[in-house]
Amino acid sequence: MTHVRELYLSVADTAAKLLAAPEVADGWHQPSALAKLSVQGLAGHLAGQVFFIPAVLAEPVPAEPAISIHEYYGRVSWIGSDLDTPFNQGIRSGGENEAADGPAALAARVAASVEDLRGALSTVPDRLVRRPTWGPWSITLDDFVTSRLLELVVHCDDLAHSVGLATPEFPAQAVETVVDLLTRIALRRHGATAVLRALSRAERAPSSISAL
């Protein structure tokens, strides 16, 4: 199994445990830390980052040409988009629907899916994968796993903060992988000078270098 898959499975297991926390169930119908998204919807979206892996593996190998993960983030239209775009509305409704059976059922599904993925990701080759919402391109499975790792780390923090829990501890290399990706996205969005100053010169730093 590749190292990024091992990191992903470790973080996915942490996400499953977070979803099973009683604080998540207690705050299920409350607003989350993300605008226009309830705790239920955020939990469903977090869970989707586990369910996406078996979904893409069940699809035929795509014929579309492969691009790198950095090109992928350069092409997606959702980064920095308005909350009321159809895509973002679909994210919110999709999260709510994914979690419609309640917190206990969702946590159990995620835990079971993580266990299934331990076997699947240990044997499947690094084939190409594609989601139907993308343009005419594909990425490697390991790059897709890396993108889901980013989503898991970011949204575990969102969910924990939403229900008054500490952000879970993640493997250092998982966080480094995510920060590397976020930094590259921030460079593309804000430019080298803004990122350089934000990381080294607080007195000249811009107000935000948010990647997403």
Domain containing residue 80: 3-165
Q: Does some domain include residue 9?
A: yes
Residue 133's pLDDT is: 87
Write out the chain's pLDDT in tens, 212 residues: 899 999 999 999 999 999 999 999 999 999 999 999 999 999 999 999 999 999 999 999 999 999 999 999 999 888 888 888 888 898 999 999 999 999 999 999 999 999 999 999 999 999 999 999 899 999 999 999 999 999 999 999 999 999 999 999 999 999 999 999 999 999 999 999 999 999 999 999 999 999 99
Q: Does some domain include residue 192?
A: no
Q: Does some domain include residue 204?
A: no
Q: What is the pTM of this model?
A: 0.95
Residue 81's pLDDT is: 83
Q: Does some domain include residue 199?
A: no
CATH number at residue 155: 1.20.120.450
Q: Does some domain include residue 172?
A: no
Q: Does some domain include residue 210?
A: no
SS (H, E, C) the chain: CCHHHHHHHHHHHHHHHHHCCHHHHHCCCCECCCCCCEHHHHHHHHHHHHHHHHHHHCCCCCCCCECCHHHHHHHCCCCCCCCCCHHHHHHHHHHHHHCCCCHHHHHHHHHHHHHHHHHHHHHCCCCEECCCCCCCCEEEHHHHHHHHHHHHHHHHHHHHHHCCCCCCCCCHHHHHHHHHHHHHHHHHHHCHHHHHHHHHCHHHCCCCCCCC
Q: Does some domain include residue 193?
A: no
Q: Does some domain include residue 201?
A: no
Number of domains in the chain: 1
